[in-house]
Amino acid sequence: MRRLLQLVVVGLIFYNCTSKKTELVLLGTVHDPVQNFTPDSLYNILTRIKPDLILFEVDSSFFTNEFKFKKTWGSNENIATVKYMNNFKVDVRPYEFTGRNEYRIKIGSRPTDSKASKLLDSLYRNNLLNDLDKKTYETFLKVNDSLNSFAYLCAKAFNNSETDRIAKIRQEFQYKKLLNIMSEYPIFSNTYYKKNDNDSISYLEGYKKASEFWDLRNQTMSKNILHFVSEYDGSRIVVLNGYFHRYYLNLLIKPKQEEMGFVVKEFYEY
């Protein structure tokens, strides 16, 4: 009996040491080609990682029933992924919020959010914000410029914890602090946009819905990613995501590593 128990313990230790842990790479990207990040740049990163699964930042409407792209387009991600699919065995799956753009139009957050942003910028340019709000808006512009500047550097520049920290600050300014400014000026609640269903929504309410959708979208994406982590146990998974999302996905996904038996890695660890 004692010998049997020893064999069971040894077997468990051997299993834990030899079983392959799922590896997840949250690979921040720039959607449009720029000098230092092109489809070839991304393709070369994929060949280094050698993923079993690529999660693509679109919903299922972009794929056939066999998970082939219904069409191709000029983004870094699409060109690089199609090239990788043609040269290596890999599964590709969507993980985006289903009907993202249609949903935003339906609830009135689009194009109301951009209209509200332009109105706020106009108030700032015409010196119609109070001193505190002016300072808040100027800080947002500086953080925004800083975050966008990383897109023109190499991929490592927008795949690190410092860039994630700046992205978090930037998004909190956009969806929380700017919303707070808008709530102080009646013009945002008294200016309306007429939706396709002939209902009207104020700029303030539309921007608020955009803020709420930022959270909902990232939460949905994270939930879908974790679904594939479970489905593709022991695999190497690359999640292609615009690098503004990386901080949010990391915040929701990293705490699940021990519980679900996977590890989050950076592309430059390969």
pLDDT at 20: 87
Q: Which residues contact 156 (CB under 8 A, 6 or more apart)?
A: 268
User: Is residue 176 exposed (0-12), middle (13-18) or buried (19+ Cβ within 10 Å)?
Assistant: exposed
- What is the overall mean pLDDT for the chain? 94
**pLDDT tens digits, one per residue of 25-80:** 999 999 999 999 999 999 999 999 999 999 999 999 999 999 999 999 999 999 99
Largest Cα–Cα distance of the chain, in whole Å? 85
The predicted structure's pLDDT at residue 2:
54
25, 81, 135, 200 from 101: Cα distances, Å? 26, 22, 32, 18
Element (H, E) at 237: strand 236-242
Taken in order of first residue, the domains within the chain and their CATH numbers are 21-98+221-269 (3.40.1010), 101-214 (no CATH)
Q: Does the pTM of the predicted model rise above 0.85? A: yes
User: What are the angstrom distances between the C-alpha of 78 and each of 22, 28, 54, 92, 213?
Assistant: 24, 14, 11, 11, 25
Regions of the chain with pLDDT less than 50: 1, 4-5, 7-18
Q: How far is CA 4 from the centre of its chain?
A: 50
Angle, nearest 10°, between helix axes 76-87 and 39-49? 40
Query: Residue 65, SS3?
Result: coil
Distances (CA, A) of 42 to 36, 68, 111, 147, 236: 10, 19, 31, 20, 16
Distance in angstroms (rounded) separating the CA atoms of residues 82 and 69 = 8
Q: Using CB atoms within 10 Å of the CB of residue 54, give its burial: 0 to 12 exposed, 13 to 18 middle, 19+ buried.
A: buried
- Is 267:48 a contact under the CB 8 Å cutoff? yes
256 with 17: CB under 8 angstroms? no
The per-residue pLDDT for 19 is: 65
